[in-house]
Amino acid sequence: MASYVDMFFEMSDDLFAVIDKDCKLIYANSVWQSLLWQPDFFVKGADFLNFFYADEKKAFIATTKKAKSTHEAQQFFVKLKVHDGSYLSFKSRLVFQEQEQVFVFYGKNQTDNKSLFYSISLNPMCVVSCDGYINSVNPAFKQAFGYEEEELTSRSILELLHQGDINPTAKELNKLSQGETAIRFENHLKTKKGDYRILDWNVVADSMTQNLYCAIHDLTEQRASELKLLQSAKMATLGEMASEIAHEINNPLTIIQGKVALLMRTIEQEKVEKDKIKVNLQRITNTIDRIVKIIRGLRSFSRHSEKDPMTAVDLRLVISEIIDLCADKFKQNNIKLKTDLEENLIVRGRFAQIGQVLINLLNNSFDAVVGLTGDKWVSIEVKKISNKIHVAVIDSGLGISEEVVNQMMNPFFTTKEVGKGTGLGLSISKRIIEDHSGTLYFDEKSLNTRFVIELPSD
Amino acid sequence: MSKLSNVSVLVVDDEEALREIFAEELTYLGARVYCAKNGEQALQLYKQHSIDVVISDVRMPGGDGLQLVKDITSLTKPVPKIFVCSGYMDKTTDEISQMGVVEVFAKPFDWDFIFLSIIRSLEGSSPS
């Protein structure tokens, strides 16, 4: 019967081995020989640790100590280098046999071709222990962040993160030990060169080994181009408004110059009429205020605002600043710009971004009605309905065809003439509003062209 | 100080304060001043009075300045000296000059320079 048992060992695809307390090989079944890359090492008395992947030697020694002290079977994963140079992963158990002072090792091959993906993936991946220490990283990880494997193993993944990400990431990882099976989060990892990459992490915990398997997607370039796109769309919107703004500032400047010249002349002629001077000075002050308002509006809408914190935003204030910027353009073209605003219209968000969306909608409405004859108007109505604030931009235009409605929220779709629209206005506006936990939609039921922004009230 | 005595000037601008300044300065220089806030109003005044000089803004609600220039130059009357001042124009200065305009001023402009140009343009031509 004993010889049959031996045959089972030799026929098995699993690894069996017996090693002494110094990790020297006493017995190993023949699978080792057929699989492993250093068949020459496979002799009695060979150092068992030589079969292991470099980083796992230390861990294995620790496991032997634990097996010896606890007298319990230790479960763990090991990676062994095989003859084609790749690594195979084994789900392993190690038991200490007190009587003969030997360790009995059993390893079940866990590897199928899928583990190849680990080495060929273009995305960084790593395996860390439940307390965040790095067990292994894939080649893409090393390439993406510039580290050598030795620099990473037995370091905590948290050490590589941006200061501000350490606690939030630790908190996320903690969720896994509290029963969540998978987590997804973002943070910033410092590369060897010292710059930071924005990373999207998808992490699962292996219940047996307690190891965390991390698949990483580098978002840095994507974020940078998104920011650029947002910024350029905003600049395009402002560019379209530049002529109006020039007009709006030039007139008041001309008034100030004229009034100053008038005052100079009256003073030179010593025909000083106090009241008249007062009236003229008042006129100058009012005119300066007009310029200040325009500049303030421009400043708040043109600066980099994507990273502003979300604060309480008074929509009445946003609308009033936008009207300061656009009023003249509408007046010049005989378009009535009407507003119907309730009191207390506070939302949580970014002032400049909400303004940008409204300017976009107003510009679209303007373009829709400017060429028409008859009564031309654009109206902004803001109402609070239960816990939501509805901002509607309505115009007297000819409406929007179904074909356009279906496509208009797509980036780069435009009905405007070449050079006039970027085709980004609505798609970016929609994104901004969704970032604000709101929705932006075209109201197909309305008789007039009507766009609605719904934002949660603060 | 009556360099513009016997000269009638039509000022066209939608900006009230600008009309005021023009009116005050031109009156001080001795001119008779008519003011309009858009092209249509200006054309009515032009038809009713004998006008030597027109100073017009370009973009105004209810009657564009360049349309006014076209209307005035197409009338059979002797064409007055026309000045255009604007903050922003779709057309170049040359294009506007070719429409029969003496000079184009970009806002904000030097006021003294405008009045000097008006006076110079009338030198050699006898005002009506």
Residue for token pair 């004229």? A258
Determine which of A93-97, A99-103, A157-161, A231-235 has the lowest per-residue pLDDT on average: A231-235
pLDDT at A161: 93
Q: Does A255 contact B17 at a Cβ distance shorter than 8 Å?
A: yes
Report the residue of chain B nearest A287, measured CA to CA. Answer: B17
Kindly indicate the confidence band of residue A419, based on its pLDDT and cuts at 50, 70 and 90. Answer: low
pLDDT at A145: 95
Q: Does A283 contact B17 at a Cβ distance shorter than 8 Å?
A: yes
Kindly indicate the confidence band of residue A335, based on its pLDDT and cuts at 50, 70 and 90. Answer: very high
- Please tell me which residue, A198 or A8, carries the higher pLDDT value: A198
Query: What is the rounded average pLDDT of the residues A153-165?
Result: 89
pLDDT at B50: 92
Is the pLDDT score of B1 beyond 80? Answer: no
Give CA–CA dist A430/A440, Å, rounded: 6
Give the model confidence (pLDDT) of A221-232 as tens digits: 988 887 777 777
Give the model confidence (pLDDT) of A256-311 as tens digits: 999 999 898 888 887 778 888 888 899 899 889 888 877 776 766 666 667 778 88
Strands B53-56 vs B8-12: parallel, antiparallel or unpaired: parallel
Q: Does A265 contact B17 at a Cβ distance shorter than 8 Å?
A: no
pLDDT at A417: 66
Q: Does B111 contact A250 at a Cβ distance shorter than 8 Å?
A: no
Distance from CA of A418 to the nearest CA of B (A): 17
A251, A271, A288: which to substitute to probe chain B, counting the most B Cβ within 10 Å?
Answer: A251
Is the pLDDT score of B128 beyond 50? Answer: no
Give CA–CA dist A133/B86, Å, rounded: 69
What is residue A307's three-state secondary structure?
coil
Q: Does B87 contact A261 at a Cβ distance shorter than 8 Å?
A: no
Distance from CA of A229 to the nearest CA of B (A): 28
Question: Residues B122-125: contacts with CB within 8 Å, 24+ apart?
Answer: B122/B4, B122/B7, B122/B52, B122/B53, B122/B81
| β-bridge partners, B63 | none
Give the model confidence (pLDDT) of B26-80 as tens digits: 999 999 999 999 999 999 999 999 999 999 998 888 778 999 999 999 986 788 9
Residue numbers in B near A294 (CB within 8 A): none
Give the model confidence (pLDDT) of B79-127 as tens digits: 899 999 887 677 788 888 888 899 999 888 889 899 999 999 998 665 4
- Please tell me which residue, B89 or A380, carries the higher pLDDT value: A380
- Please tell me which residue, A172 or A153, carries the higher pLDDT value: A172
Residue for token pair 């002072």? A101
Residue numbers in B near A249 (CB within 8 A): 87
Give the model confidence (pLDDT) of A12-60 as tens digits: 888 899 999 898 989 888 888 777 756 566 678 888 887 777 777 888 8
Q: Which of A315, A316, A331, A322 is nearest to A293 (CA)?
A: A322
Q: Does B17 contact A262 at a Cβ distance shorter than 8 Å?
A: no
